[in-house]
Structure 1
Amino acid sequence: MVTILDNRAAKPRPRHPEKAHRPDQEVMRKPKWIRVKAPTSKGYLETREIVKTNKLVTVCEEAGCPNIGECWDKKHATFMIMGEICTRACAFCNVATGIPAPLDLDEPANVAKAVVEMGLKHVVITSVDRDDLKDGGAQHFADVILAIRAASPETTIEILTPDFLRKDGALEIVVAARPDVFNHNLETVASNYLTVRPGARYFHSIRLLQRVKELDPSIFTKSGIMVGLGEERNEVLQLMDDLRSADVDFITIGQYLQPTRKHHPIKKFVTPEEFQSYETVAYSKGFLMVSSSPLTRSSHHAGEDFERLRAAREAKLNAVAKSA
């Protein structure tokens, strides 16, 4: 997952000043099923050299992602646009909060160039929250999508967006650019929002995903959550129902890992068996695709999952046609 950031936003700064008021939380020891080997493969080292040579910053490193070795070995890429400073202070997130730099108007072209140079068949575009912008960065998302389409028409595009809360017309701008997958993560169950995601609104996020389908039913929709934040099983099942009511195609479920002692504590390490149970239930509720495991992350295996998602939709349409 390689991330291009506005260089003007990459100045040294204290980490997470907005979380300084939170008391240190005990970091639970990871169970054996969540541990991974240190990355040493040739592909990983090559990607690390690309990152170093081009002075890039990566989501993989910033978030301490456990899948960095696997993803970098395959040269998978998630580009984070609009800088590295977020306007919100979610209790689970390892991205710094503050006043972001102005948008880099060359960024869409630079991202498109990187997609071509890396030969990406599928690319994921994400961003920080930009509540400071009138449209929340919607037009910038659209510009990046259109630039990639022009430079690499065969590349499929997945976006992972903020919620565009109180940004009238923003969603319509992004959908009009026609990404192949529109991903917006709920992150956690509704009862946790005040403590885990205080700047967001659960049902606004549900409505955002539903609105995407209303605007363009051909776009796949996707959402992800973390477990281990104190949620109850019945709350996760209700969340699945809420997503299905919005006609969401794909759900990802992964284990929350506490970035630092200042972040929200891990309440539980969910077992692989529990993740498998969630996957079984999610498929029974009608999701076309489900990824549920301790190491599942929103962009993990995104390219392979997109192909499976497309095949699942085709199979469903064929089944409906045969029964008609």
Structure 2
Amino acid sequence: MSTKAKQPKPEWIKIKMTNDSNYQEIKSMMRSKTLHTVCEEARCPNIYECWANRTATFMILGDICTRACRFCAVNTGMPTELDLQEPDRVAEAAENMGLQHCVITSVARDDLKDGGANIFAETIRAVRKRLPLCSVEVLIPDFMGDIDSLKIVMDAKPDILNHNIETVERMSDRVRARAKYPRSMELLRNSKILQPSIPTKSSIMLGVGEEWDEILKTMDDLRAMDCDIMTIGQYLQPSPKHLDVAKYYTPDEFAILKEEGLKRGFSHVESGPLVRSSYHAHEQVQSASKSKETSTV
């Protein structure tokens, strides 16, 4: 067992807690409709801010993941059922919240032949049926590289296709379970081949042992796949059994990385200590749309 002393959290890692009426209303709604959010399951530090602003990331396909990534707080095991009514309940909740941008993610379901792709597609369609003007972003697993599953999702035409690379190539096997860096890159590339007009997005967390030049290389790799949007945040250890934090990056370093990403051609880069994949997601889709309009003028 490691005897290395853990680094204390720096002063800029501050979570603003609130218990206002919006937060309580969304929490009650999720319980009444038997829905899960990645905000809760992954212990996102922005849950209070986002829920107070009536935004949330729905987590479909249950709350048990078939993978055990060393950074993630979501429960791991073998799922026992598939809820075919879940897409309608997500859509109803999104309508009740009056969402203008809906983010949908899931646990990894390697036990399913399609990895859950059909439920993703049904959820996209259900939200669109109730909220025709609401943009829909999906944050998908890698479907074990199955392009037919990816096609099912892309044919439903989400407004943004998000798949997280999570970390640099050298650290990928240590940090992620079963997911492979080249396979994730291939998924992003295939997404653009299947639907060239749909913006793609990916996220990396810092502080698990990567080097600065490896972060920049990951940016280059993502841009080589024509990835449009990138989010960069600080890894925070969810429990003692998860990976230790190797380094806390400063706000200035995150600002430099944002500039590095923009220089490489990303239409939008969200970079900061508490940034997570869906943080300010509504602003990202607006930024990507404006960038696309500019590039076609």
Q: Shared fold by TM > 0.5? A: yes
User: What amino acid sits opposite 1:81 in the alignment?
Assistant: I
The structural deviation recorded for 1:66 is 1.5
Q: Does 1:144 align with 2:143?
A: no
User: What amino acid sits opposite 1:192 in the alignment?
Assistant: M
Distance, in Å, in 1 between the alignment partners of 2:84 and 2:216 is 42
Could you say which residue in structure 2 is the equivalent of 1:97? Answer: 76
Q: Does 1:276 align with 2:255?
A: yes
Q: Does 1:78 align with 2:57?
A: yes
Could you say which residue in structure 2 is the equivalent of 1:310? Answer: 289
RMSD: 1.8
The structural deviation recorded for 1:187 is 0.3
Could you say which residue in structure 2 is the equivalent of 1:129? Answer: 108
What is the aligned counterpart of 2:162 among 183, 188, 208? 183
Distance, in Å, in 1 between the alignment partners of 2:189 and 2:113 is 22
Indicate if the aligned counterparts of 2:36 and 2:60 stay in contact, CA closer than 8 A. Answer: no
Q: Does 1:233 align with 2:185?
A: no
User: What amino acid sits opposite 1:279 in the alignment?
Assistant: K
Percent of paired sites with the same residue: 49
TM-score normalised per structure 2:
0.95
1:219-230 residue pairs with structure 2 within 5 A? 219-230=198-209
What is the aligned counterpart of 2:144 among 165, 171, 183? 165
Could you say which residue in structure 2 is the equivalent of 1:11? Answer: none
1:30-109 residue pairs with structure 2 within 5 A? 30-54=9-33, 56-109=35-88
Query: Which of the pair has the greater relative contact order for Cα pairs under 8 Å at 6+ separation?
Result: 1
User: What amino acid sits opposite 1:252 in the alignment?
Assistant: T
Could you say which residue in structure 2 is the equivalent of 1:156? Answer: 135
User: What amino acid sits opposite 1:170 in the alignment?
Assistant: S
CA distance 1:52–1:81, shift in 2 (3 Å): closer
List runs of 5+ in structure 1 lacking aligned partners. Answer: 1-21, 319-324
The structural deviation recorded for 1:53 is 4.9
Indicate if the aligned counterparts of 2:33 and 2:89 stay in contact, CA closer than 8 A. Answer: no
1:196-275 residue pairs with structure 2 within 5 A? 196-275=175-254
Distance, in Å, in 2 between the alignment partners of 1:298 and 1:218 is 21
CA distance 1:131–1:26, shift in 2 (3 Å): farther
Count of aligned pairs: 297
Which of structure 1's runs of 4+ aligned residues deviate more than 3 A? Answer: 22-28, 48-58
Could you say which residue in structure 2 is the equivalent of 1:298? Answer: 277
CA distance 1:56–1:25, shift in 2 (3 Å): farther
CA distance 1:315–1:166, shift in 2 (3 Å): closer
The structural deviation recorded for 1:223 is 0.1
CA distance 1:61–1:108, shift in 2 (3 Å): closer
